[in-house]
Chain A
Amino acid sequence: MIELIDTYWLYFLVGQYPHGPLGGLALTLILAVLGLLFAFPLGLVFGIARVSPWRSVRWPVTALIQVVRGTPLLMVVFWAYFFLPSLTGQNTDQFWTMLTALVVFDAAYLAEIIRAGIQGIGKGQTESARSLGFSYLDAMRLVILPQVVRNMLPSLVNQFVATIKETSLGYIIGLTEVSFIATQINTQVLTRPAEVYLLLGLTYFILCFGLSRLAFWLERHLQQRTMAKAHA
């Protein structure tokens, strides 16, 4: 196994870079970071629309979120893969296809986290903000959302873990992220598939387990702070 790591570690981490496109674990991470980064504002808009007092805003967004959440990510990836080119009028490469699918998919899940966060804050806060003369949108922006975003920090980290795991589906459309590279290594070595895929699993595990511990710690830390405030 040492020999395997010794020969292929660089390929595993960055793919063919700098002699070819960036790939491997680096691409997995970039995809996950960008995915979450772009999904967050979209999720925020969807989440607010989901609890909007106007039906014409609430209903279509709710329907969209339900459809995305009832569909496997792979289906979203396939739709993006086959229909983005005809929609945008130019060839979309695997990276942008996967990123688009991730952003749409994650935004729907983030929207539900944000909706739960807004509803968890309590109506009293909105009502007092409104009675102090804030408009609905200002009450959201200045009173409700700052609290929601702080409370949802652990969920955001967990969503990041989920996104890292989701990037593995890029494998299916031939994106050279870390699972794809592992398979390339496997076809080159040929004799040690169990070791190659164990190493792949271990890589994901270290990354995701570390992050989910961070989320756990954040959650406890926030809880303690809220409790300390309540006692003060």
Chain B
Amino acid sequence: MGNETHRHASLLHHLYAGHQSWLLDRLRRRLGNAADAEDLAAETFAHVVAHPDPSTIVEPKAFLTTIAKRLVFHFWRRRDLEQAYLDSIAGLPEPALPSEEERALLMEALLRIDQALAGMPPVAKQAFLYSQLDELTYREIAERLSISAMSVRRYVTQGIARCVAATL
């Protein structure tokens, strides 16, 4: 194993040494916060570490940018969902507040769902969620959203298909 492992490690080391400050600088500009930038830069390189064969990365900057962009997007979306969570629970009476553990489980699940449904128009998401979470009939959903039952059916199909595709 020795040689192969060593080659792998030295490749990774080159990648860090050559691009760490460049990546950090870009992330700082986008996030406006050094600590978050450091976290995301490290997370980006953690993806590189997981890459089966880093020697096939021909354009390191393009490769790192692609990963980092996706992470930045998820980072902001996570922030948004956390903010939305705080807003949503602000009005709840104390006994109904989710515990810390429930909160963590809920946020994990919501992030996965959010990613699966990303790109669906809001009304389509809403129709799917009414069906999936509130178990309303399509006629009830159509009434609430002032759309046709045919549209509801199409949106629910889209939602299920995306959730299934995301777990494949």
Is A bound to B?
no
**A-to-B contact residues, CB < 8 Å:** none
**B-to-A contact residues, CB < 8 Å:** none
